[in-house]
A and B are shown apart, each in its own frame.
Chain A
Amino acid sequence: MDPITVFKGRSVGIPIANIDTDQITPARFLKGTEKKLAKAFFADWRFNPDGTPKADFPLNKPGAQGASILVAGDNYGCGSSREHAPWAMADYGIRAVISTSIADIHRSNCLKNGIIPIFVDAATHAEALAAAEKNLEFTVDLPNQTLVLPSGKKATFPIDAFAKKCLVQGLDELGYLRSHLPQVEAYEKRREPARA
């Protein structure tokens, strides 16, 4: 994966709480084996049954085109573990998602696809949602774990140190795990003496 450090992006806000991964990528898009799922991203909220865009959905507003920072309601990404959700987000162009909370499995899946989950407090969240309604630009500084809001206000966000290192340096988690295989083998020998 390409290293991620500091980036700027236009925002889009979906001010709805408990957005589940069935909305981010509806199940019918799980039948393929491709990760190019931009068209699946919020498909049922974004498109009418005849495939035309729903004019009032935030992603369809003219100012939202090219948005890469998603500001969502509380508890974003709950439900199904489908990685098709962050695949759709990434393919659409989302690089960071801002909320007060993001569900555990979805947060983990986002990190593996180069999408930064950004947790902010309620006041910052309210300001971010208001700015995202106008599709204003945010800056994400991953090395310094800082979100710069359009007003210039800065908010630091927590991120797991290892996940940050992987993203900033473009490292691969599987590579890290494989580097520990000798320890895994020793562990297996201890627990499964019969097998060895």
Chain B
Amino acid sequence: MAKTLFEKIWDEHVVVTEPDCPSVLYIDLHLIHEVTSPQAFKGLRDRGLKVRRPDRTVATVDHIIPTHDPKIGILDPQAKNLVAELTQGCRENKITFYGVGSHDQGIVHVIGPEKGYTQPGMTIVCGDSHTSTHGAFGALAFGIGTSEVEMVLATQTLLQKKPKTMEVRVDGALKKGVTAKDIILALIAKIGTGGGTGHCLEYRGAAIRALNMEERMTICNMSIEAGARAGLIAPDETTFKYLEGKPFAPKSFEHFKHYVTDEGATFDATVTIDGSALEPYITYGTHPGAGMPITGIIPKDTPQKMLDYMGLVAGKPLLGQPIDVVFIGSCTNSRITDLRAAASVLKGHKVKAPRVMVVPGSHIVKDQAEAEGLHTIFKEAGCEWREPGCSMCLAMNGDELKPGQYCVSTSNRNFEGRQGKGGRTLLASPLTAAASAIEGKVADVRRYL
């Protein structure tokens, strides 16, 4: 019987399904970080349990760590405590831990792929909704809550009800200045932040095939912003080329080749996007579905609460809106190709935006960028070149907007207060962020290309 990619991975990981019960699903890889695991470790201790498969568990710190000079260290006592809790949990259970000061530390969804932990056909979970990122490799990857983190630590399984499937078809060649970020922002604007609820997405079509792995990660990363816990892209030669030589990747990729949707397999729903018609996108509101082409005008039916928070007016364009901060980073857009894209625009310019932060996703990304001289381009343009972490994506580590500030951000969420209480986030691609940094206002990158 013809199966979708999702069904193949699902079927291979069901340990048992009892009548009237969700399936017991085996988890191949469990990624953990400091913010959503301390209560899970405590739960294990209270029950007298140990981590069942430490060899399938990988830990790092990313959400709460500062991105300032590492010599200063962590100043926030609560942050110190969370890191200490994770360190203790990992030590007690012999879990591989890329901690503060480790050369392999970085945002959990950046280091999983770059070290080769993330592989096609796997089930991957993490107490973080952007776990969907790993779907770019054809892995079924989704975010879980802390109770579920505890269950996976204790049993290496989860109870899951099989979701429905949705095909997202993106055909046509992208125009200059249009990126993976614009595809996903356009999708969320089209189907809404709840459009994918109950579904696993599979991104297909010529425009998806043409993307490199980091671009594919950007798309899968934001599946959750459309309400879908997971988004998949079938592995292909691009995937295998990326995996080649990664420390934990296998030497042969033959066994990954069947992780594709069979001819004739059907999806529960299909959405199509004409890639060739897309423009660079930007959000104007307080959820990721409130997005539009950069040359668009803010829709008349935008809720007043949203406009009031954003300090914007319906019927007006966003282009030319003065901004205070530009943030280039996060698990959506902090990888080397994102930094190269931003640097290609910024090269030779001085930024007019009062503050421009560039936060690489990991130390490996940071080193690579420095080897290529990108940090010099950023610094000469007037940007801050910072240490790796989640940083101003969720503003837990001290990197935050002041009330009322506008920020063009390459991150994934523009919720009220997400980047700091009262802060106003405009989500966009690294290209759009770089152009906006130069002009100190929302800008169309296409005049720089």
Identify the A interface with B (CB < 8 A): 16-18, 20, 22-23, 26-28, 30-33, 35, 44, 49, 74-75, 78-83, 86, 101, 103-105, 108-109, 112-113, 160-162, 165, 173-174, 176-178, 180-181, 183-184, 187-188
Contacts and interface: CB of A to CB of B under 8 A. Distances in A.
B415 A22 contact: yes
B396 A31 contact: yes
A183 B15 contact: yes
A174 B155 contact: yes
A74 B99 CA distance: 40
Given A16-B305, A33-B42, A104-B229, A81 B127 contact: yes
Interface string B191-205: 011100110000000
A160 B161 contact: yes
Contacts of B81: 33
User: Which size class do B's interface residues fall under?
Assistant: 35 or more
Contacts of B396: 27-28, 30-31
Nearest to A23: B416
A71 B229 CA distance: 24
Contacts of A75: 192-194, 197, 227
B143 A81 contact: yes
Nearest to A108: B145
Interface in B153-211: 154-159, 161, 163, 192-194, 197-198
B129 interface: yes
Contacts of A181: 155
Contacts of A27: 394-396, 418
B61 to A, nearest CB: 13
Contacts of B227: 75, 78, 103-104
Contacts of B21: 161-162, 176
A177 B154 contact: yes
Given A162-B159, A177-B157, A81 B36 contact: yes
A159 to B, nearest CB: 11
A103 B227 CA distance: 6
Contacts, number: 157
Nearest to A181: B155
A35 B194 CA distance: 27
Contact of A78 (B47, B82, B287, B418): B287
Contacts of B258: none
B85 A180 contact: no
A177 B147 CA distance: 13
Contacts of A22: 394, 413, 415-418
A74 B76 CA distance: 37
Contacts of A35: 39
13 contacts: A18-B194, A22-B417, A23-B416, A23-B417, A81-B127, A108-B144, A113-B147, A160-B22, A162-B22, A180-B155, A183-B16, A184-B155, A187-B26
The 7 closest A-B pairs by CB, nearest first: A75-B194, A83-B145, A31-B78, A81-B143, A109-B145, A81-B129, A112-B147
Contacts of A30: 35-36, 63, 396
B100 interface: no
A32 B78 contact: yes
A177 B145 contact: no
Contact of B151 (A80, A83, A160, A174): A174
Interface in B49-76: 63-64, 76
